[in-house]
Structures are given as C-alpha cells and as structure tokens.
Structure 1
Amino acid sequence: MAEETRVILHGNRLSPYVKRVEMALKIKGIPYEFVEEDLKNKSPLLLKYNPVHKKIPVLVHNGKPLAESLVILEYIDEAWKTSPQLLPEDPYRRARVHFWASFLHQQLFEAIVLVIKTDEEARQKTIKEMFNKLKLLEDGVKDLFSDGIPLVVDNNINVGLLDVLMFSIFDSYEAHEQVLGIKVIDPEKTPVIYSWIKSINELHVVKELHIPHEKVLASVKLFRKLSMNSTAET
C-alpha cells in the first residue's frame, strides 16, 4: 500500500468502538491494515498517536492519527466520498442522525455497560433505565425511518452511521443476555430494534466482522467479574 494512501487501524476486535470503525472501512471498500493492540501492554505507537486518552481505536491515514470512534467515522465519511455515505446530505436529517448517534454512543451504550457492571442489589434500577432508553430509541427510530430502515437498495448496501453504531453495540447482545440472565432485545417490546439488528446481521460485511459467540461470552463474563471485584474492594 503506497505510503500516501496508507490506512492503519489500531484496535482490538472485541472492542465495540473498534468494530464500528472496521465496519465503516469495509462498507466503503477502503483497504487498511489492522494492528491488534494488547490493552494490558499498549504499544508505543498507540501511546504516541493518542497521548490524551491512550485508548483505541486510532486511525492513521497518510501518517496522520485520529482518535475517538465518532470523530473517526465522520472523517472516513468526509475523506472517502464513495457510497454509501454514512451521513445524509440534507442538513435537517443529518442533524437528527447526529442526535441519535450521540444517544446511542453516550446514553444507551453506557446504560447497557452499567447493567453489566452493577451488582445484584442495585441492578434492577439500572435494568429499568436501560429498558427506558431502548424504548426511547424504538420510538425515535419509528419517526426517523418512517418508511422503514433502508439497509439495502437495488442490491447495494445502504448503511448509515446509525446502522454502524447499532452493529457495534448490539452485535454481542446475546452474550450480554446470557451473562445477565435477562432478555435485552425483546421482539415484542422493541420490534423495530429487533428487526433492525436482525437485518444488520444479514449483511455480508457484518458476517465478516462477526466474532464467535463463545469468545465474546468469555469477554463479557470477565468484564463483569472484574467490575464486581472492583466494587467489592471499594
């Protein structure tokens, strides 16, 4: 790959933040190199490229690094105008997509993580909050995509920013359900979200990025165990 067009992604494939960047690169057909980072022993390059947060993902394009997944996604959409475009051209619709992207990234995903991290005593409150946010998303999506969610148009993938974020957050929801012992995505309570996730999972690019269930399950179990241990020690 020529240096002037070289794209490198530093990340870990179990990270939902990295998943969304990989999906964006793949759906736009952008060749890239993947550098697997050991988060317990971060590489000097990662620390150099992201000295503020020292986190993944980091995208390096033409030798110039970018951090933070939403920033990277918007950069990819602007730097490569190839179809599909992640954000709509219409200013109002673009603003609404930005709003729900922020909701998914900051509120809903954090609510799901909080359920996994919370001990049994306080978990009912966090579960209720998670379901409240899922209901808000369900109603918002019905309004935003009143004609249905157009993932495929004329045999071409028509994936947008919200689809990418949904994939990164809910690709592992069955592992979360198994660890937590609750139904996170209920086809009766949130039928639009359920159908949306199922449709995303049918895309060939998603199948390429899918991580085996057992590996994800082990990761979620470990995350919960470490969170419980941390809570017990405070």
Structure 2
Amino acid sequence: MGEPAAKLIGTFGSGFSHRVEVTLRLKGVPYELVLEDLRNKSDLLLTHNPVHKMIPVLLHGDRPAICESLVIIEYVDEAFAGPSILPTDPHKRAEARFWARFIDEKFARPFWMSFWSTADVGGKVHEDFVNEAKGNLLLLEGQLNGNSFFGGDTIGLVDIAAAGLAHWLGVFEEICGVTLVTNEEFPGLTRWAKAYIEDEHVKQCLPERGQLVAMFSACREMFRGMPTAPK
C-alpha cells in the first residue's frame, strides 16, 4: 500500500474499526492500524479522543484527530481521491446518511439487546427486543430493492454502516442461540451479506470468525450488562 497516509486507532473485533478500515481500503488509502486495549487505554487514544475516549480515531497529517466511525467515513471520502463512498447526487447522499444514522441510532440497540438481554418472566423483554429488531431488519430489507448493495452495484456508506449484519451477526447467533436473520424471512439481506463479505477489499480487513467467537464468548456476561454497543 506504500507509506501510510493515515493512522487508525482501533481495536480487534470492533465493527466500528472495520467501518473505517474498509473505507480506507476502498479508497486506496495507505494506513497504519494501531490496535488499542480498551481495558487499558493508551495515552495516544486519550490524547486524541479526550471527549469519548473510544475508538475509532483517525489521524491524518498534523490536523486534529477525527472521531466516530460515520464521521470518519465521510472525512475519508472527501479528503482522499478514489471511488466515492457516498452518492454524488444530493438527494441520494441525504438518503444514505439517513439510513446510516438509522443503523446507529434506531437499529443498534434492539439488535444488540436481542442477543444480550436477560429475559424476564415469560421472556417478554427479550421477545420485545427481537420483534423490534426484526421490524428494523424489514425496513433495511426494503432499502435493498433487489440490488446487490444498498447504493446499487458497489459498496457505499450504508453497506459499511451495516457491516455488523454481514459478519458479526452469525457470531452473535452462534454464541447466544438466537436467530434473527434467515433466508426465508430476509432473502435480500442474506444475499447482501454474502456479497459484502466476499468483496476483495472487505475480506482484507474482516476479523477471523473463530477469534471473534472466542472473544465474545469470553465477554458474554460483560456484554449482557451493556445497554448498547459502543460506537
């Protein structure tokens, strides 16, 4: 890839780190990945993201750091040459931003809690999260509209925002014994997930599945106590 043009502070197994990595690879931007231990945060992370103290963080030149995955994606798309991640048409660009934010702001919590929630008597809490998650999945299914990717024929902002559905979903289903996505219910999302993880740029920065299973299995009880996933 040549000399790094940027430095990414991330952590192994993070879908949010993956969002930035795949964006950099799609744009052809050389980068250095610095893996962070979030249990023992480094001075590098704390210095460059003193507000949230979380990954991912992008360092580019002498400018202040860029934080939060969706913000970083848009910055990389605008700051570097290469294939566009967001549509050029203003209306389609706004739509892509809307659905990317939908994934983080409305979709993420019920999706996450469908796996990690502890059911109350009769299992209603867990059932409610599953139902809400499936309703949101149906909305995403409709956005594909028969296309390979959310933006058409190539990977774009919404595909990157939804990457957890393509690779991390199966890991959570295996660990927790909860099935959210089947080909019968969501054929479009199933086809999309296969196309996403088979993309050559994506494959280069997907964490190995077995390692993800081991990591999330070990942290299962910790994740059960979290209200939402970090971003």
TM-score range, shorter chain: 0.7 to 0.9
CA distance in 2, matches of 1:104, 1:52: 23
CA distance in 2, matches of 1:228, 1:152: 36
Q: Secondary structure at the match of 1:120?
A: coil
Superposed CA deviations along residues 153-199 of structure 1, whole A, max 9, x for unmatched, are 6xxxx321112122244311111111221222211111111111111
Query: Which deviates further from its counterpart, 186-195 or 113-122?
Result: 113-122
Match of 1:6 in 2: 5
Match of 2:25 in 1: 26
1:148, CA displacement in angstroms? 5.0
Match of 1:100 in 2: 99
Match of 2:82 in 1: 82
CA distance in 2, matches of 1:75, 1:199: 25
Superposed CA deviations along residues 74-120 of structure 1, whole A, max 9, x for unmatched, are 0001001311x011111111111111111112222222212233103
Match of 2:67 in 1: 67
- Which of 177, 189, 192 lines up with 1:193 in the alignment? 189
The question of whether the paired residues in 1 share the 8 Å contact of 2:143 and 2:150 is answered with no
- Which of 113, 120, 137 lines up with 2:140 in the alignment? 137
CA distance in 1, matches of 2:18, 2:86: 18
Query: Which deviates further from its counterpart, 86-95 or 165-174?
Result: 165-174
CA distance in 1, matches of 2:207, 2:191: 20
Q: 1:222 to 1:67 in 2, by over 3 A?
A: same
How large is the Cα RMSD of the aligned pairs? 2.2
Match of 2:131 in 1: 128
CA distance in 1, matches of 2:192, 2:147: 13
The question of whether the paired residues in 1 share the 8 Å contact of 2:115 and 2:178 is answered with no
CA distance in 2, matches of 1:150, 1:185: 17
Query: Which deviates further from its counterpart, 221-230 or 12-21?
Result: 221-230
Query: Which deviates further from its counterpart, 206-215 or 74-83?
Result: 206-215
Identical-pair percentage: 32
Superposed CA deviations along residues 23-81 of structure 1, whole A, max 9, x for unmatched, are 00011110011111010111101101000000000000003211011110000010013
Paired letter, 1:165? A
Q: 1:169 to 1:19 in 2, by over 3 A?
A: farther
CA distance in 1, matches of 2:225, 2:155: 39
Query: Which deviates further from its counterpart, 191-200 or 218-227?
Result: 218-227
The question of whether the paired residues in 1 share the 8 Å contact of 2:49 and 2:67 is answered with yes
CA distance in 1, matches of 2:18, 2:54: 14
CA distance in 2, matches of 1:30, 1:73: 12
Paired letter, 1:102? R
Where structure 2 has 5 or more consecutive residues not aligned to the other structure, the ranges are none
The question of whether the paired residues in 2 share the 8 Å contact of 1:20 and 1:168 is answered with no
User: TM-score, normalised on structure 1?
Assistant: 0.86
The question of whether the paired residues in 2 share the 8 Å contact of 1:60 and 1:66 is answered with yes
CA distance in 2, matches of 1:113, 1:230: 9
CA distance in 1, matches of 2:198, 2:137: 22
Q: Secondary structure at the match of 1:110?
A: helix
CA distance in 2, matches of 1:199, 1:131: 21
2:52 is the alignment partner of 1:49: no
CA distance in 1, matches of 2:148, 2:203: 22
